[in-house]
Amino acid sequence: MKKLLLASIVTFSLMITAQKKYVLVIHGGAGTILKSSMTAEKESAYQTKLTEALKAGYAEIQKGNTSIDAVAASIMIMEDSPLFNAGKGAVFTADGKNELDASIMYGKDKSAGAIAGVHTIKNPIKTAIAVMQKSEHVMLSGVGAEQFAKEQNLEIVEPSYFWTKERWDGLQKLKQKALNTTKKVSQNTLPESYEIDQKFGTVGAVALDKSGNITAGTSTGGMTNKKYGRIGDAPIIGAGTYANSQVGISATGWGEYFIRATAARTIAAKMEYQNKDMKTATQETIDEIEKMGGDGGLIALDKDGNIAMPFNTAGMYRGAITDQGEIFIEIYK
């Protein structure tokens, strides 16, 4: 009996040591990402960038820096790449501008920062961090946010810095389609203008540092052809981004639904109040969004280094890295 007990203790501890502990998880957007419409060249470009983003964040954690530094490092790599709909490579608004949103939340003390609707801030995630750490506010928008970034000596660029041909062509295609639309507008109908460009491409990261603190961050250009200063879920704490001492979440997808489902906070609440595990909490939230008619995905990382990455679109650029530096990257379902 004693032997049996000992044997099962040994097997159990082996199981524990064999379980991977993730320290960083990232996404580069969910949407109609199909293998059939992807070239080998493009796929490898995404894999290279996602790997670079994971390594940059991992290096911060290895140095003993905070999960805030890790999230910033990962997200900035993706913001600087035209492959993603954040920073350079952001989609265009209906009036031909790139309008950026970003947010960050630090689980340790639930501090948070966000900016929305900016046109000249090179790395929105850096400004979101500055809002969190150096202002008395949580969310700044438009010219005020840009003024704040300037005062914080953060990098300011000409709006033309964000221009890319692919996104510009995407807008022209949508406008053409929108001209011929007669569909009634409501919160439950995807504007036809969005329909042909569903490779959203927002970026996000959740990290767990050596002190056990979690940070979640998200950065985006929003949705192509957005109008009237539309703001999605990405800069809204509790919708696109949330972190506490137990879990961190960053979402991507059709933002209106993630706002209405208060997606990121709902996941944390299911874990906190209903004792649900992260896998169940995240899947239930995506299922709820699907039931409402929306689509997208999210990444989550808990204090024990478990990850979840559910989505209901054809694909989601996503990756994670363990405390041992093992990298995992996936694109399709």
| Closest of 269, 280, 279 to residue 307, by C-alpha | 279
Q: Are strands 296-302 and 247-253 parallel, antiparallel or unpaired?
A: antiparallel
Q: What is the DSSP string of 226-278?
A: --TT---STTSBTTTEEE-SSEEEEEEE-HHHHHHTTHHHHHHHHHHHH---H
Q: How far is CA 51 from the centre of its chain?
A: 16
Residue 217 or 305: the one with the smaller Cβ distance to ligand ASP is 217
Residue 120 or 202: the one with the smaller Cβ distance to ligand ASP is 202
Q: Give the Cα separation of 37 and 40 in Å (integer).
A: 10
Tokens of 5: 């007990």
The single residue listed with the structure tokens 């914080």 is 152
Residue 100 or 320: the one with the smaller Cβ distance to ligand ASP is 100
Residue nearest to ligand ASP (CB): 255
| Closest of 21, 27, 20, 71 to residue 49, by C-alpha | 27
Distances (CA, A) of 241 to 54, 70, 167, 197, 259: 19, 16, 25, 23, 10
Residue 207 near residue 214, CB atoms below 8 Å = yes
Residue 91 or 130: the one with the smaller Cβ distance to ligand ASP is 91
Residue 198 or 306: the one with the smaller Cβ distance to ligand ASP is 198
Q: What is the 3-state secondary structure (H, E, C) of 130-193?
A: HHHHHCCCCEEEHHHHHHHHHHCCCCECCHHHHCCHHHHHHHHHHHHHHHCCCCCCCCCCCCHH
Give me the least distance between CB of 270 and ligand ASP, in Å please. 21
Give me the least distance between CB of 218 and ligand ASP, in Å please. 8
Q: Which of 93, 202, 282, 313 is catalytic?
A: 202
- Verify whether residue 202 is a known catalytic residue: yes
Give me the least distance between CB of 297 and ligand ASP, in Å please. 9
The type of residue at 65 is N
Q: Give the Cα separation of 134 and 151 in Å (integer).
A: 11
Give me the least distance between CB of 101 and ligand ASP, in Å please. 7
Give me the least distance between CB of 199 and ligand ASP, in Å please. 8
Residue 23 near residue 323, CB atoms below 8 Å = yes
Give me the least distance between CB of 167 and ligand ASP, in Å please. 12
Residue 151 or 166: the one with the smaller Cβ distance to ligand ASP is 166
Residues that bind ligand ASP (CB under 6 A): 29, 85, 200-202, 220, 222-223, 232-234, 252-253, 255
Residues marked active site are found at 202
